[in-house]
Structure 1
Amino acid sequence: GGVAFDSEDEQRFRDFAASIGIILETCQSLYMAARNQRGAAALLKATQSLVQSLDLEATLQSVMDQARKLMKADRSTLFMLSKETGELWTQVLNKEGTEVIPIRIPANRGIAGYVASTGKPLNIPDAYQDPRFDPNADKQTGYKTRNILCMPVFNSGGELIGVTQLINKEKGSFTSSDEEFMKAFNIQAGMALENAKLFESVLVEKQYQKDILQSLSDAVISTDMQGRIVTINDAALALLGCPVKQIDSKNRELWEYKLTNRYVWDVVPIEHLQSRLKDSLTTGTKHYLPEQSLIVGLFNSHSKFNWENSHSSSSHPPNFSPHSQHEDSFYILAIPKPDHPEVYVPWNETPWDSNASTDLSQEQVKKIERSTNLTVNPLTNPEGTVRGGLVVLEDISQEKRLKTTMYRYLTPGVAEQVLALGEDTLMQGRKEEVTILFSDIRGYTTLTENLGAAEVVSLLNKYFETMVEAVFNHEGTLDKFIGDALMAVFGAPLPLKENHAWLAVKSALDMRWRLAAFNESRIMNNQPLIHIGIGISSGEVVSGNIGSHKRMDYTVIGDGVNLSARLEGVTKEYGCDIILSEYTYNLCRDRICVRELDKIRVKGKSQPVSIYELIGTADTGLNDTMKRFLSFYEAGRHTYINRDFQKALTYFEQAHQLKPTDQAVLTHLNRAKNYLDNPPPDFWDGVHTMLRK
């Protein structure tokens, strides 16, 4: 034992020390790796819980609870920055842990305020030696703050949104390694907090939209891109017969459950709803259909026993009581079958058991009839892409009952205006600048001579149904039907915000498009096509209620009305479907593409008027052939007016080669040839006088 260490011992110890160093480094690496793994697990646990809750308060508590455990600190706090108030705020439990206490401090004071103001971390080993530390909280609570690690939290855009603060590490002070790890932790915390704040904003906005939806007096239903119901407000439930003021929460939940995710046309049986909504979702078109009929039934199931037995042949119809408060009472929406309207289907659902029938008779339900104005609009995102549909139903049942009474001495159109403006407003005659549209079916007698009376009525009703939509969609007023013709006015009885001539032109183009669609179905049924002529003119008219005390019509009278009716007849002479007078053309010439057909003097009028064939809107694409045709026709008209009939013939013949069946070209060819043989008198002004109406 008294032998001294020699050089050999020293060498052995050196070798051993090197091994110990490797072992210590390995242990340190394993410790750091284990710590990193615990930290990653803590972060994963925190973020997983955040994804599940997306609640801001839960996020605050979860984030800092994981941070405290990870850093082995005694306390942890996450302060959120409120830019609106310039404060840092958080929520902590009281001493008993029974109540959450909000804490707010100025964003530029104290340790947390310094970090929030500068965006720089603070690692303070001795809090009482730092002048920024406020010891008053320790004095009040008896708590001793030793060391603090305070670090900023940024969102994904690099904007400071909060500050994390850890107090009193269990052993020693917070290290630079702790700083690095908390920096990584705060990145995840920032993302989680940002998601929670976004989610909170979405919830607030969703509730705001829901409150708006529920406050509307009109029935409003939103749908997805397939037409399935997403949201439905109380007014819509009431429109369908649901007694929303009497039912309990279970009844309401039943209705919402049964209606949500259903095709809206399956539970809101309005004739044109499906086609109009699909068109709106596909093309982004808006539709307005006035006075649509809605018929549904309401069944009151007083108990499970009665509901089951109500389907058996021996059962008696249940007594309906919309104000029943029976605890087992449920209200069921029933939809009439299209082919058997006296039979109602609960929720319009097919029974699970195909052999069982859940159909209800009309004696078992309370029939509900509504008259509604139907509006179908697309829902679009900021880029203009359609992302859903909006169905709005205005219940005008009471208004319609009032109008039914007024129909005894007023036409439906006038009744609407009287309800809106008051009777005195319309009884007085007024002079107004308007545009008048006349539309008529060509060859109506030939078309209907082989049809029975019922078939003629059916044909006219279907035709007028779509044509009247074209008038209403462009803010026109349907003045009257005259046999197979209709007359519409744009600009009366109410003035329009937009150019009345342009709206009339758009209505005519809409009629052209609708007629093509109408004829497609007739082609499929091997039925003859329908052709129409439309005359449009603008000018001053007198509007008002005209007639006798027993029967009065709201209408307009004046030269503009007569001229538009004459122009509708002129369409036959020139083989065109839509002709405008120069008065309408001049009001919207920059918006339309036309061909100047002629200058005529209609029967019964001495003042000549230039007439134009409406080709389309100004952005209508014309092919090269059409452009050449129009150029030849225009040149022919110019030389014709200047009495150079030989040259006019050349131009019209060139136009004829491009469009051999064009009636206007053929008419001018005949006139030019006639004037070559029989020159017109010197006072001839190029105006053609029409001999027929």
Structure 2
Amino acid sequence: MLDELVRASSLLTDEFSFQRLISILVEQSLDITHSDIGALYLYAQEDAKADAVLAYKRGRHPVPDRLPRQSELIDFLIESDEAVVLLTPGESPFSDLLLTDQMRSGIALPVSTPKARIGFIILNSLQPDFYNRSRFQFLDSFVQLAGGMLHNARMFTELQEYLRHIEELKRYQESVFASMTNLLITTDDAGRIHYFNRAAADRLGVTEANIGDKLDAVFRKGLSKRVVTTLDRVKETGTSLLGLEGIYRDERGDMDFSLNVSPLKGARGRHEGLTLLFTDQTAETELKQQMEVVGEERRLIKDMFARYLSSDIVQNLVDQPELVKPGGGSKQATIFFADIRGYTSFSEGMDPEYIIQVLNEYFSEAVEIVIRHRGYIDKFIGDCIMAAWGVPMVNEEYDAVQAVSCAVEIQDLVNSTSRTFFTGKASKLRIGIGIHTGPLVAGNLGSSRRMDYTVIGDTVNVAARLEGVAGAGEVIITGETRKHLGDAFRIEERKPVKVKGKAQAIPIFNVVGKN
């Protein structure tokens, strides 16, 4: 059997595949011993209590797919690591060694090494007393050799799987690093560039030729001395540094960055270099500057309109600052002038303090009514209030109705006995109101020292002229305003009037009240 052992062993030594070694072991064992059945069963690597599972079988007779772990045969093979030979069927604790009822003798040999139990091989014969000394010696030597080869093959396979897993992790890591928008650079313990990602290549100009170059030499021009000194300190102390800000300068332009620097350590904590993670904050800085500009625009809008507009309109302007254009813009608006009748004669001989008190009491009430009707207080001209609807936000139909509603409410309040202004010596004062609707220019007018949002144009001039036409207690409107009111008010037509700047007389109406 020695020649057969040498030949069979040479087949094992030429193979590294675990599965192929299994087949060689069973095939050669069966052929050389002339057995009728050969089967190799493997132990589960993860579960010591699991059944032994059939891995390879040769022969015409069926065999079990698995053998129970608690069988006395398997217990003996594991505990003793010795072969079991059954020469005849009959009463035996190892009767399951015969894999079918037709088999008359059998042998089971453990496939193992001093460090690992792999499984066992069972050979059966239809003849009793078949496994003699020479067959046993061949099988014992061959199976021992196969056990070592199978153990090596399994370790080789596991190593290949481990390396494959490492390669997958490496590819995954490189994919993650490549997809990062942050700029990643690592160095070795000597401060030489070891790795960089695509973002660092694109923005910092690092190339494969820089691998192995000193970090401070590559970035000496782009980074400030303060940043380079800080990197040296992190390397010396081994402590991380987060949020170091600076500007990287090269031919591509300036980059505002935030830099996190961490020591790169090996498995045993040995210092192996640095990890530098740059965050490009250039776009963020520009956005911050833009936000500051927007914030300033909104502050100016609030300062400009908060005292003269309803809070919801002011908020709309803050949310949409483009509605308030620098300079001027064309609008369709309704202009309102309200003047005190009898004011000139009343103010003669009165103390200025008392006159101011009377005006402020009236203005306080009238301004609240204007704002409640979503009007814009343009200015106060002596005892006159100038207001506008349709600036800075336009709703042509709605604006005219709101302006006239405001005028009617002010007149009703002046005529009310419960009013809190125009009392005492001022009790005979009344209001005349003129309103006109048309195109005008609205915008910020003034100088760098003083800028106001106001309206100018022919529409403003006509409204001012109508205020002069209106008598005490009257609300005089033009035909242009009348077009937008529908049936909301009781209106009486008046004789057309000539106003300064107009060649033809213009139709006018007096608003008596609401319907």
TM-score, normalised to structure 1, is 0.29
**Larger CA Rg, structure 1 vs 2:** 2
